[in-house]
Chains A and B, each alone.
Chain A
Amino acid sequence: MAPRVGCFLLAVLISASCKVATSSDPMCTEKEANKTYNCENLGLREIPDTLPNTTEFLEFGFNFLPAIQNITFSRLINLIFLDLTRCQINWVHEDTFQNHHQLNTIVLTGNPLIFMAETSLTGPKSLKHLFLTQTGISSLEFIPVHNLENLESLHLGSNCISSINLPENFPTQNLKVLDFQNNAIHYISSKDINALEQATNLSLNFNGNDIKGIEPGAFNSKIFQSLKFGGSLNLSVILKGLQNSTIQSLWLGTFEDTDDQDLTSATFEGLCDMAVESINLQKHHFGGFSPSTFRCFTRLQELDLTATHLTGLPSGIEGMNSLKKLVLNANSFDQLCQINAASFPSLTDLSVKGNRKKLDLGVRCLEKLENLQKLDLSHSDIEASDCCNLQLKNLPHLQYLNLSYNEPLGLEDQAFKECPWLELLDLAFTHLHVKPSQSPFQNLHLLRVLNLSHCLLDTSNRHLLEGLLDLRHLNVQGNHFQDGSLSKTNLLQTVSSLEILILSSCELLSIDQQAFHGLGKMSHLDLSHNSLTGDSMDALSPLKGIYLNLAANNIRIIPSHLLPTLSQQSTINLSHNPLDCTCSNIHFITWYKENLHKLEGSEETVCANPPPLRGVKLSDVKLSCGMTGMGIFFLVVFVFLLIVLLIFSVKFLLRWKYQHI
């Protein structure tokens, strides 16, 4: 008997230790106190008791809930967003969300649903978004229609749906997005589309369905916000089927892994009988151009020909007068003139980004585009020695110019004289050659944003930024300064209207005390990833109420006379600095704890010195400098012993004296 009892006790002990082990399971992470929680990938079988009743946003994906019912979420009645992605849900029983009046989004993606009860979605007063992606649905009758009156988006992608015919009583009046991606829809009938009659401004997504036929007249006088037929093999069938419809945006692109047929003028015939504002034909092949290829494009406002294997556009395209936006990204032009821009006189927005060949800007190639406001020529291997007045000839209304990620550009004096209305200029990661003491941006009085990051600038040229009277945002990240020092007279002194300045990763060792004088409007200063020390902070004294990023520098000790400078800023980031946590930095550490509300990245603001405190968060450091308690104790004991010794020696001395009288 006794060994049995012992065994039993041991078993109880083991299972007790087992309990301890399970209760130390990973917990949900709190993203916003009492409101937003993430419990993904925890293998949970129920809602943990640790979640507060006030939870509103709950990410509960990748757990295990084979059946969900009335009691599953009954405690969390304030739920607004509930993500149940891939929880192996088979059953959604009746009244599951009965008490969740505020619930607005339910995500059931990737669950092998067998059945949803008739009242499984009733309860929420305004259920707006329902995700039933990849849930094995083959018929729309599967979806319980009760309480879908407020539905704005319904996601039914990656199922086995072959017909979009909604059940007769399916409410569509508020529906804005209906997503049928990657199903098996091959035919769209008039009846299917008529069932969507009540929806206004609807966006329908048929990407990844090979549409082989549309009933003639199915889309007659119908209005859509957007229609997507991505990856469809036969565009002419689709365009004929859309006869007499009005569509804001039509996406007809294809993909690398999809076979496609060459586009000819016959393909686009259907386009003549419909009203489309914007069309996307990415990755298609044009089987040669004829004068009639673009015959039906005359009413278009936006045309996207990304990666359509173009080496040029034919000259003399007629009737594209109303085109406002043209995207020619990822094609293979040799020279910008090959786009024959004169065919698109109304263009306001042109993008030739990521050209597959070295793009020569040529001379006056865009001069007919008098209305152009936005021009993106980034990532196109552009190289030019004298930029950019001849290249950008006659672009008086240009406001946005992106020349980032190109080969070296030589900027002449007043390089952008042809586009005086520029508001944003992006030259990031393009090496710039500017002759000494020239001012390439001289006449850009309206420029507000200038990105010069990693441009290998000659920062000793004090005239570099001259003429930028209204510059608010300047990024000079990754440029280097002479001797690693921002001196008293520097290139920033001509841009006094600056509000945001990025000087990160500039290998700065020091900043002169006067360097930021005259930059009184500054509200955001990023000095991160340099090698600055506490002494450089003198330069910050003219700045007040700014966001100051000093992360990843070489700051060890901040002298106490600099603390008022820090105090007058609104937010400070001092993370990733080798901060000293000894008594020589006690004033700063005390200040730090008093100003925690102003500090950003406090999790990564840790001590580097002394070794025992390495890696400890600055906010957790407890230092007592001056006399410690232990020291006082020993001193008291010492003094006490001294007194005792004195008394004894006096006593001894007196006794000795008396004995010898």
Chain B
Amino acid sequence: MQVLMAAFLVCTLLSPQGRGGEAWPTHTACRDESLQVLYQSCDALQDFGLSVDQCLKQVKPNINIRFGIILREDIKELFLDIALFSKGLSILNFSYPICEVDQPKFSFCGRRKGEQISYAGPVYNSGFEIPEGEYQVLLQLYTQDRSTVACANATILCS
């Protein structure tokens, strides 16, 4: 029976890892009494780290975030797509350039595939208040040839 056990162990160890099959864990970007932001990486290849400094219903302008990821692509050009849903209905879609050849907005623009980057700083948002409810947000960071740099399914719970 031991042999069988050993064989089983070897087998599980050798068999390819369940990439794609298993989803990345859901992380908490921030949590407070009335607001909670959860996210999950939707890039099959890797997870990433994100935290938001202040978790307030009344979002202040220029909130600080911390973000850490391994780049799978050069980010000479980098774009962000945000899609916001509530109760399954699309509320807002927009696209925003973060790095462009003629305007690299952030100091990490131009870093290369394989580099690990961690950003701690403001995101230059305007202030707004989040109405009560549950929201789904799809965030995608991609390069000029539409290769994914990061992808996140986020849930905002506001009570």
Please list the residues of chain A having a beta carbon within 8 angstroms of any beta carbon in chain B: 4, 7-8, 10-12, 14-15, 17-18, 21-22, 25-26, 41, 43, 61-62, 85-86, 107, 109-110, 131, 133-134, 155, 157-158, 181-182, 207-208, 230-231, 253, 255-258, 282-283, 304, 306-307, 327, 329-330
Question: 1/0 contact trace for B82-124 toward A, CB 8 Å?
Answer: 0000000000000000000011111101111111100101101
Q: Specify the chain B residue showing the minimal Cβ separation from A87.
A: B114
Other A-B contacts than A14-B8, A157-B112, A329-B102, 5 sampled, CB-CB below 8 A, are A21-B11, A26-B16, A133-B112, A257-B122, A307-B103
Cα distance A131–B17 in the bound complex, in angstroms: 30
Cβ A10 vs Cβ B106 within 8 A: no
Question: 1/0 contact trace for B107-149 toward A, CB 8 Å?
Answer: 1011111111001011010000000000000000000000000
Q: Specify the chain B residue showing the minimal Cβ separation from A255.
A: B107
Q: Specify the chain A residue showing the minimal Cβ separation from B120.
A: A257
How many B residues touch A, CB cutoff 8 Å? 33
B114 CB contacts on chain A under 8 angstroms: 61-62, 85-86, 107, 109-110, 133-134
Cβ B110 vs Cβ A207 within 8 A: yes
User: A22-B14, A109-B112, A110-B116 are known contacts. Are A15 and B70 too (CB-CB below 8 A)?
Assistant: no
Name the prevailing secondary structure of the A interface residues.
loop
Q: Specify the chain B residue showing the minimal Cβ separation from A10.
A: B4
Cα distance A182–B71 in the bound complex, in angstroms: 15
Name the prevailing secondary structure of the B interface residues.
loop
Most buried by A among B4, B103, B105: B103
B121 CB contacts on chain A under 8 angstroms: 256-257
Cα distance A230–B122 in the bound complex, in angstroms: 19
29 A/B residue pairs, CB under 8 Å, sorted by A: A4-B3, A7-B1, A8-B3, A10-B7, A11-B6, A12-B7, A15-B10, A15-B11, A18-B7, A21-B11, A22-B15, A62-B45, A86-B70, A109-B113, A109-B115, A110-B70, A131-B112, A133-B114, A157-B112, A181-B111, A231-B107, A255-B109, A256-B105, A256-B122, A256-B124, A283-B105, A327-B102, A329-B103, A330-B103
A61 CB contacts on chain B under 8 angstroms: 113-114
Please list the residues of chain B having a beta carbon within 8 angstroms of any beta carbon in chain A: 1, 3-4, 6-8, 10-11, 14-17, 45, 70, 72, 102-107, 109-116, 119, 121-122, 124
Cβ A256 vs Cβ B15 within 8 A: no
A22 CB contacts on chain B under 8 angstroms: 14-16
Cα distance A8–B6 in the bound complex, in angstroms: 11
State how many angstroms separate the Cβ of B74 from the closest Cβ of chain A.
Answer: 10
Cβ B105 vs Cβ A134 within 8 A: no
A181 CB contacts on chain B under 8 angstroms: 110-111
Contact of B17 among A43, A157, A230 (CB under 8 A): A43
Cβ A134 vs Cβ B115 within 8 A: yes
Q: Specify the chain B residue showing the minimal Cβ separation from A109.
A: B114
